[in-house]
Amino acid sequence: MPHHDPPIYLDAAASTPLRAEALQAMLPYFAADFGNPSGHYAHGRRAADAVTAAREQIAAALGALPEEIVFTSGGTESINAALKGVGFAQRDAGAGAHIITTEVEHHAVLHSAQYLERFGFDIELLPVDQHGCVDPAQVADAVRPDTALVSVMYANNEVGTVQPVAAIARLLRARARELGRPIPFHTDAVQAATSLPLDVDTLGVDLLSLSGHKFGGPKGTGVLYIRRGVPFLEQLSGGGQERQRRSGTENVAGIVGLAVALALAQAEREQFSARAAMLRDRLLARLRASLGDLHLNGHPTERLPHNLHLCFDGVEGESLVDALDAIGIECSAGAACTSATWEPSHVLVAMGVPLERAIGSLRLTTWPTLTEADIDRVAAALPAVIEQVRLAAAPALP
């Protein structure tokens, strides 16, 4: 049956629409002010001034210094640069090659860690509890004299659990004092910008990664905050842009749009959280009323306000996503970044979710432009779609 209503987009964790304010700010740098920021003439100076202003805007949003901000092509590059750049620099400086992270990190962290293992790094993956939370004491206890870096995500991209980053940082600083040397601490904050504070001193982090398209900025833009004094070996060599930390001509329009979107996202955190949580809780309440056998994944309270991650018995997540798409409801089975190679989510497995349940996972992430009517339409449609997918999956009766 074809659908005629406009699609309902419930995958804000995968990507968000570009904010009108960001687009407006970007437009001049595609045409009139197209110059290379390294150029020593008016066009170049205008581009360089725009990048400088954006850097100051980002630094203000993070409570950082402008020179601590590195512009990248997105969250994946920021995370790769953090782990590899600090890892190799620390090992070269004789600080060791032991890296601590968790079992529920984004693949950008886990695959960077696996890459470093090929160069002799010792990677330690810490377990999480049934809510996907890591124990701060366990992180601190894992620190050794040769620990080069610790990386714990701020908020999980699949189940939405918010990690106790500030508590981890406090314990790591105590361990650093015992060892008599700093222990750089990185957080993947890619999912956090719309609803969580990003002040790096309050969080206690030394490196922080962001991706523009997760908070109304353009795709292909990202930020890596590197605290002054943290050892770092650049991963992209060339013309020496970004204070020698990330060569390549700056994406001026993208950087300008990213800065505007981040400033707005952080200014509107409370309104976003209230609206997104209201929509999410409305959907959960209606689904609980009509579906007795749903399972909520992630921490019940310490979670992103727009994240609803559910498992349904007897269905396969991908089939559910396809069936919902056919009636104009767009969401994902687990994480969109990994959907090309579908297998049970490593996050759910680490949380101890049984495999047969983990394959029936659905991630629904709300955005403030959704209406209550949209939410009610999804809640009304989902039980029938689940039943339809279950019947299709059941073996034919003789």
- 163-173 burial, b at 16+ Cβ within 10 Å, e below that, comes to bbbbebbebbe
Among all chains, which residue has been given the structure tokens 């066009």? 43
Question: CB–CB of 339/393 below 8 Å?
Answer: no
Compute and round to an integer the Cα radius of gyration of the chain.
22
CA atoms of 62 and 203, how far apart (whole Å) = 10
Q: Which residues carry out catalysis?
A: 337
CA atoms of 292 and 66, how far apart (whole Å) = 51
Nearest to 153 by CA among 93, 203, 117, 223: 203
CA atoms of 306 and 280, how far apart (whole Å) = 6
Cβ partners under 8 Å of residue 186, min gap 6:
79, 82, 83, 86, 149, 150, 151, 152, 205, 206, 207, 208, 209
Nearest to 150 by CA among 187, 100, 80: 100
CA atoms of 126 and 133, how far apart (whole Å) = 10
